[in-house]
Amino acid sequence: MHGIALKLALWIGCLIPFLRLAWRTWAGELGPNPIEEVTHETGEAALILLMVTLGVTPLRRLTGWNRLASLRRPLGLFAFFYACLHLATYIVLDQFFAFEYILDDVKERPYITVGTAAFLLLVPLAVTSTKGWIRRLGRRWTRLHRLIYVAAALGVLHFVWLVKADLRRPLVFATILGVLLLLRTPPARALLERFRDRLRGRAALRRSSAAPGTQVARAPRADLAP
């Protein structure tokens, strides 16, 4: 039951940017340049969900709550969903399927070049996110899906190069990504595990104090996912 509630909360939370954008479109609140507003909103939603996806494993290692691992796939797919909306807004609403001009943009504008590269990296990750592909690829699936870090880095760079004046929001994403990459290093992973074990030890001590005469089993270590 808790798993269902968790996934329901995830779906509601991930759909909020889309529903908010739909409401603003219906209410005519997108401002003087609605296409640019939709492009920015969908792109930022994709980046936010990418960061949340990358944050699942460190949070799981810290808390020992392995049920969080089941959230990585839907979070990643929602990030891809907003990336598709972001790209579709550019192709359909901004360029009106003028692929000749789109290709010129990809070649001549660096922020569009890296943004396109980020999207193309997300495509195989979304396609191979099913259980069948996980079984077929085996260990190669883990190596393939590490490309999400490259896609996230390119997405942040896309945002940094897109914004010419106020860099505060892109730099926030860059900082978060830097922290998430740092947490993948062996020293940081070991530190998270020690902190988790210390928290578990304190919890076990409190339980044993509350129920004298009972022996508390040591909690098993969480599996180390990439």
DSSP string covering 59-91, please?
Answer: HHHHH--GGGGGGHHHHHHHHHHHHHHHHHIII
- Among all chains, which residue has been given the structure tokens 């760079």? 157
Q: Give me the mean pLDDT over the 123-142 stretch.
A: 92
* CA–CA distances in Å: residue 145 to residues 32, 149, 214: 39, 8, 44
Position 226 confidence tier, pLDDT thresholds 50, 70, 90: very low
Position 211 confidence tier, pLDDT thresholds 50, 70, 90: low
Q: Give me the mean pLDDT over the 170-181 stretch.
A: 94
Mean pLDDT for all residues in the chain:
87
Q: Which amino acid is at 54?
A: L
Q: Give me the mean pLDDT over the 13-41 stretch.
A: 93
Q: Give me the mean pLDDT over the 107-134 stretch.
A: 94
Position 189 confidence tier, pLDDT thresholds 50, 70, 90: confident
Q: Give me the mean pLDDT over the 83-100 stretch.
A: 93
* Contact predicate 8/59, CB 8 Å: no
Q: Give me the mean pLDDT over the 172-189 stretch.
A: 91
Predicted local confidence at residue 74, as pLDDT: 94
Chain centroid offset of residue 182 CA: 16
Lookup: tokens for 41: 């909103």
Position 124 confidence tier, pLDDT thresholds 50, 70, 90: very high
Q: State the CB neighbour count (10 A cutoff) for residue 38.
A: 21
Q: Could you tell me which residue, 189 or 157, shows the higher pLDDT?
A: 157
Predicted local confidence at residue 164, as pLDDT: 74
Q: How far apart are CA 163 and CA 171, in angstroms?
A: 10
Position 79 confidence tier, pLDDT thresholds 50, 70, 90: very high
Q: Which amino acid is at 115?
A: G
Q: Give me the mean pLDDT over the 186-197 stretch.
A: 82
Query: Is this model's pTM higher than 0.75 or not?
Result: yes
